[in-house]
Amino acid sequence: MEPLNLARININAPYKVWNEEDAYRFETENGISYIVDFDLDDNPYYRCYWFNLTNPRHTKSPNDIKIAQTVVCIIEEFFNQNPDVLLYMCSHDNGQQAQRSRLFLRWFNGYEQQQRYLLKATDVKAIGTDGKPTKDYVALIIQRTNPRLDEIVARFDSEIEMFNEFKP
Partner 1 sequence: MHSIRKKSYLCTQNQLNREVMEATTTINNGRTREEIMAWWQRAKERKAAWEEKMQKKFDEEALIRKQADESHYYDIK
| Contact set for partner 1, span 79-138 (CB under 8 A) | 87, 89, 91, 93, 124, 126, 136
Under rule CB under 8 A, residue 158 binds partner 1: yes
Least distance (Å) from partner 1 to the CB of residue 36? Answer: 10
The amino acid at 66: K
Under rule CB under 8 A, residue 52 binds partner 1: yes
- Which of 89, 82, 106, 79 lies closest to 140 in space, CA to CA? 89
Three-state SS for 122? strand
- Which of 108, 109, 113, 133 lies closest to 123 in space, CA to CA? 133
- For strands 33-40 and 133-143, give the pairing: unpaired
Least distance (Å) from partner 1 to the CB of residue 12? Answer: 25
Least distance (Å) from partner 1 to the CB of residue 116? Answer: 25
Q: Torsion angle, CA of 54/57/63/69, rounded to 10 degrees?
A: -40
Candidates 1-9, 70-78, 97-105, 153-161: pick the segment binding partner 1 (CB under 8 A).
153-161
Out of 110, 116, 162, 164, the only residue in the binding site for partner 1 (CB under 8 A) is 162
Distance CA 57, CA 138 (A): 23
Q: Which residues bind partner 1 (CB under 8 A)?
A: 23, 33, 35, 37, 39, 41-45, 50, 52, 54, 56-57, 87, 89, 91, 93, 124, 126, 136, 155, 158-159, 162-163, 166
